[in-house]
Amino acid sequence: MKLIRLTKRIGKAKVLGANPELDISWASGPGFRNGPQDYFCLKVDADIHDYAIEFNVEETRRLKEQVDKFLAFIDDGQHMWQPGNYFKKLKKKKSQK
């Protein structure tokens, strides 16, 4: 696994951790650090800083759908999954809101 900082400029990505540790957790109850009440969390310990992404329930469902689709492609032997078109559509939908 790699933790990479992406920029809007092509070719300017920077690896923040070549072998970071991943911690996956979730909580249901009072919010933590003013976050959502029920959340799924991915924590990554990188070289210099640690990072956490907290997903609410709906975002977690979206994440699960995408992981399930990805694993279905891999299980079917389709290793050349190209997400570019999906992410372009997602970006368009987001900008329309």
Q: How far is CA 74 from CA 47, 65, 77, 80, in A?
A: 30, 14, 5, 9
d(CA 37, CA 62): 18
pLDDT tens for the chain, residues 1 to 97 = 677 777 777 667 777 777 778 888 887 776 666 666 788 888 888 877 888 888 888 999 999 999 998 888 888 877 655 556 656 666 666 666 5
pLDDT value, residue 64? 93
In this predicted structure, what is the pLDDT of residue 80?
Answer: 59
Q: Where are the domains of the chain?
A: 1-55, 57-97
